[in-house]
Amino acid sequence: MATIYGGVETGGTWCVCALGSGPGELLAEEQFPTASPPETLERIIDFFRAQPTPAAIGVGSFGPVDADPDSPSWGQVTTTPKPGWQRTAVASVIRDRLGVPVAFDTDVNAAALGEHRWGAGREVGSLCYLTVGTGIGAGLVIGGRPLRGLVHPEVGHLRIPHDRQRDPFPGSCPVHGDCWEGLAAGPALAARWNTRPEELPDDHPAWALEADYLAAGIVNIVLVVSPGRIIVGGGVLDHPPMIALTRRRVTELLAGYLETPLLGADIGSYIVPPALGDDAGVLGAIALARMLGSASSS
């Protein structure tokens, strides 16, 4: 029988726990709202206590996080604006209460790894997993591993052009105002147009402006890290016209400078939806746990 691993995705809104070895091989899965830290951690621990003990657990958390295994604050959520979650120990609590090894990374790095291992990025050497919803986040897999460095990717706060004449909305990021997520995440759309984004009709100018902003950030990701594929999801990008509009604007903005069909006629094969759907994060967390197993046995 395949070794059993645990996966936990603590997203900003939902928390997902799963036990198994990969897609189609889950023995149990549970989803609940991300509440206060003690309440959420208790439910995670309860989930695993009711199951056979996994060889390791992977945790993908909303960020910013400290994912440096050598840091004293490894496994914590750090400066998040999410109320009550600043400086919350997550990974060490799960490890200590359940007595199993725990791997820890951002939720989007986990999702990127899941899509790379089992989903829409199986054939590419590097990929970016981008989600645009209540915030904007991206995970990167390079050389088969989630990218960490000084910290980890935190693309929501990219600086992009903001044409204040066309769009006088000042931006909704509490820290940076008109950074990428301040202009283009769901709350920015809602505040700018004073309605729930899903109620804006497809021909509303909101969507063309949104595509301009999303394309500017995606172009920046392409120009810095040149991922082999970009996998895009989240509530805003799931809105029907958005992927097509965004692809077109990315091509227009790059203006043929990088000479590859994947940034021109074939951009539909470059900017693609996830294959694992809502399970990308928790499956990626299982992939993180599997990687921990193979790293410690090597």
The residues that touch its own copies, with contacts defined as CB under 8 A, are 64, 78-79, 125-126, 138, 140, 142-143, 145, 147-162, 175-176, 178, 216, 219-229, 253-260, 262-263, 270
**Residue closer to its own copies, measured from CB, 1 or 150:** 150
Sign of the torsion angle spanned by Cα atoms 273, 274, 276, 278: negative
Backbone angles phi, psi at 140, to 5 degrees: -130, 135
Least Å distance, CB 61 to its own copies, is 15
CB of 39 to its own copies, least distance (A): 25
Question: At a CB cut-off of 8 Å and minimum separation 6, what does 199 contact?
Answer: none
Choice between 24 and 83, CB closer to its own copies: 83
We find the least distance from the C-beta atom of residue 267 to its own copies, in angstroms, to be: 11
Q: Smallest distance, Å, CB 9 to its own copies?
A: 21
d(CA 286, CA 210) in angstroms, rounded, equals 33
Q: Token pair of 145, please? A: 């591993």
Phi, psi of 8 (to 5 degrees): -130, 125
Beta carbon nearer to its own copies, 57 or 267:
267
- In the bound state with its own copies, the residue whose beta carbon lies nearer, of 244 and 258, is 258
Residues 25, 70: Cα–Cα separation, whole Å: 32
Comparison of 142 and 200: residue with beta carbon closer to its own copies:
142
Phi, psi of 102 (to 5 degrees): -125, 130
Cβ atoms of 142 and 121 within 8 Å: the answer is no
In whole angstroms, the minimum distance from the beta carbon of 140 to its own copies comes to 7
